[in-house]
Structure 1
Amino acid sequence: MNAVIPADLAERSEAEALFALEGAPEHVRAELGMAARRLGGGVVLSMRDDPTEFWSKALGFGFDEPVTLDLIEEVCAFYREQGTPMAVLQLAPSVLPRDWAAICAKTGLEARPSWVKLVCSADDAVARADAAGRPADGLRVGPVAAEDADAWAGAMLRAFGMPEDGALAGMVSAVVGAPDFRPFAAWDGAELVSTAVLHLYGGAGQFQAGATLPHARGRGGQSALLAARARAAQAAGCRWLVAETGAEGPGEHNASLHNMLRAGFEVAYERQNWVWRAERE
């Protein structure tokens, strides 16, 4: 693999982006029952009243200290304290201990479909984008200004099948103008149809929230947003680009994965998701 990025930076880049994303305004945090804690070198994020079962996550572990039964029990105890019904633990395969199966049995963790961690050199991604030179078909791509924050949040949530109104929209729209975030969008005329965001951390540019409304798909919007974020990351001094998406099972096709591979990303590793549920205890 050409893009050799330390696994700890690849994992911390994602963890810190999610930690910052969930640092929403206080009234939003209260409505969603949000809480966060730094623990064992990782981050533990809870959204008690999450209507999507997506936002409660624990990740970034295994680099400052080893993954142990005590650490995982402490993570689970945090979720119990918060009244969180379920959460997803995401650990790089290189940090899983030999007794991981026993830890899962003890704490009630169950394996769920995997994600892939993708990485790329920022310089390589920009060079590839410059060489391709293909603009999106009839779409205008650019950064998101404050006046477009609500439309940007609404389009992203709608594209991911999440509720567009209420506190989730408040959490997502707060990204616009937040430190270290660079939100981008694609417009079809006056309509905002594609979203994406870049988060800057430790020389890495974390790519998140790439989504396009169904009627605007297949026009190159996401490829153009990948290129725009790569250029922004390079301009900010990032050496690496990092992203995640679902792994493909037999007969499956993940368009986001193939867009990123065409943009120059490479699969660093496949990472199993582990689900904890309070009801199981």
Structure 2
Amino acid sequence: MKVPTDVGAMGVTQATALAESAEAEFMYAFETGAPPSARSALGMTAVRLGGGVVLAMGADPTGGYWNKALGFGVTEPVTDALVRAVLEVYRASGSAVAVLQLAPAALPEDWDDICGRHGIVGGTVWAKLLRSAGPEIRPTTTELRVGRIGPGDVDDWSRVYCAGFEMPEDPDLVAFFGSGTDEARGFHSFGAWSGDRLVAAANLHVSGTVAAFCGAATLPGERRRGAQSAFMAARLAEATRLGCEWMSAETWQEFDGHVNPSLHNMERAGFVQVYDRRNWVWREEHV
């Protein structure tokens, strides 16, 4: 099969496979790389199942954000039996809530019936975006110093992530975030400094020739200083240097006048929205 060189020339099947697989691989690498002590304290489980990944955190201090199942429908179809197996992982982990992140092209014809049987309901919508390596990288300016983080920056970097995403500074969660700086597992991590103070953090995960833009956060009091645009340019340059042909990203879709600056930053950097993906929410109280 000829690989297109531009997002516009890509079919739905290939766009879905690229975008879903990139996110699933970075999430699996992220969660399986956490220190054993953090994995135990947070009740973490990561399972490859049905062509996708099931990520569970039974003692998630955020209330369930890290319970995600994704990457399905690329190599195997989504079926009632697969959904049942996914939910058994969450029940076994003691998780009370989980999100199934399924691309619209992966939903089977009987999806409504499957949802009804398992108490799954539609939630928020995310935009999935792709960019080829071809377009020129748009230059950015910021007064902050932006660059790769070093071993001595990992703890500050992890705490900035927690604060930027409004997650608790739980010590095990901070240790978990720190595992996302391991270059041996495909991560390439960046920071932005105001003087000597780290005020923003961003990450990139590379798997083969695809790079996943896997999160960027700025401390609340340091926003609107150009960190996010600078991170976009720095990660695009790094992904290109590493030989990536495609870059993938996701963020929440705008709705009812709620503007998402991250979405616009991505589009200015050359990312193209390829589809919207709804979060399908399961809760244990369903019988």
Query: How many Å apart are 1:3 and its aligned residue?
Result: 6.7
Residue 89 of structure 2: which of 57, 70, 78 is its match?
Answer: 78
Query: How many Å apart are 1:123 and its aligned residue?
Result: 2.9
| Identity in percent | 47
1:103 corresponds to which letter in structure 2? I
Q: Deviations over 1:51-79 (max 9, x none)?
A: 11211100011121111111101111111
What's the secondary structure of 1:192's corresponding residue? strand
What's the secondary structure of 2:140's corresponding residue? coil
Q: Deviations over 1:84-127 (max 9, x none)?
A: 11110001101111110000001111100100101111231xx1
Query: How many Å apart are 1:194 and its aligned residue?
Result: 1.1
Q: Deviations over 1:175-221 (max 9, x none)?
A: 22342100011111111111110000131110012111122111111
CA distance in 2 between counterparts of 1:106 and 1:16 reads 29
What's the secondary structure of 1:110's corresponding residue? strand
What's the secondary structure of 2:8's corresponding residue? coil
CA distance in 1 between counterparts of 2:140 and 2:50 reads 44
CA distance in 2 between counterparts of 1:279 and 1:106 reads 13
Residue 176 of structure 2: which of 171, 183, 192 is its match?
Answer: 171
Query: How many Å apart are 1:128 and its aligned residue?
Result: 3.0
Write out aligned runs for 1:33-182 (5 A): 33-52=43-62, 53-124=64-135, 127-129=136-138, 133-136=139-142, 138-179=143-184, 180-182=186-188
Q: Any conservation in 2 of the 1:146–1:177 contact (CA below 8 Å)? A: no
Write out aligned runs for 1:169-208 (5 A): 169-179=174-184, 180-208=186-214
CA distance in 1 between counterparts of 2:111 and 2:22 reads 24
Equivalenced residue count is: 275
Q: Deviations over 1:144-168 (max 9, x none)?
A: 1110000000001101000123100
> Which moves more between the two structures, 96-105 or 209-218?
209-218
CA distance in 2 between counterparts of 1:7 and 1:40 reads 16
- The two structures have a TM-score, normalised by structure 2, of 0.93
Query: How many Å apart are 1:266 and its aligned residue?
Result: 0.8
> Which moves more between the two structures, 84-93 or 173-182?
173-182
> Which moves more between the two structures, 25-34 or 201-210?
201-210
Answer yes or no: is 1:25 the counterpart of 2:35. Answer: yes
Aligned to 2:4: none
1:113 corresponds to which letter in structure 2? T
Unaligned runs of 5+ in 1: none
Q: Deviations over 1:21-49 (max 9, x none)?
A: 11211111000000111100000000001
2:171 corresponds to which letter in structure 1? G
2:97 corresponds to which letter in structure 1? M
Query: How many Å apart are 1:83 and its aligned residue?
Result: 1.2
Residue 243 of structure 1: which of 239, 242, 249 is its match?
Answer: 249
CA distance in 1 between counterparts of 2:167 and 2:42 reads 14
CA distance in 1 between counterparts of 2:78 and 2:208 reads 23
Aligned to 1:260: 266
Answer yes or no: is 1:212 the counterpart of 2:222. Answer: no
Q: Any conservation in 2 of the 1:3–1:266 contact (CA below 8 Å)? A: no
2:151 corresponds to which letter in structure 1? A
Q: Alignment RMSD, CA only?
A: 1.2
What's the secondary structure of 1:151's corresponding residue? helix
